[in-house]
Amino acid sequence: MTQITEYWTQFVNTVKDDSLSNLELSGSFHFGGIEDATSIAALVVDGVKTATGSLLWVFEAENNSVPSVGEYNIITDSENKPVCVIQTISLSVVPFDEVDAQFAFDCGEGDRTLESWREMYWEYIESECQRIEKTPDMKTPLVCEYFKVVYKKPLDKK
């Protein structure tokens, strides 16, 4: 059993609500580059980072569905170890230049200003667009996602 599977099982075993007995794991991933994954995961666990943005075109280029409200994902650190389970609570697709200061603040990184968010995310957009052979502009569509941490206990040691 992988650590991701073990962690998911550990989380599901804590759920007391019968209406949630058929929980499904959408996936696992880390925020940012692998070198930043541990520090960003800590922001998630601490409740500082409650939002994230993704490039809509990447979902389309890779034939992946956009996240959906209610889905569960495991967040991992730089070593691909599970850190917490999040649940998506809202989604919207917003042009890059229309992302507001509140969303930038809720993303929790840098100094949490819209200016620093735009600078950081523009680098991400340029890099992803180069990878999928698209040309970014100020109207590049971002999937703006809010989530909540639903489980953050460490993986049980066996």
pLDDT in tens, 4-22: 999 999 999 888 776 666 7
Helix boundaries (H) for 56-149: 56-61, 101-106, 114-132
Q: Is residue 144 within a helix (H) or strand (E), and if so which, with residue range?
A: strand 141-151
Locate the domains of the chain by residue range. 3-13+24-151
Question: To the nearest whole number, what is the mean pLDDT of the chain?
Answer: 94
List beta partners, residue 84.
75
What residue type is assigned to position 51 of the chain? A
pLDDT tens profile 114-153: 999 999 999 999 999 999 999 999 999 999 999 999 999 9
CATH code of domain 3-13+24-151: 3.10.400.10
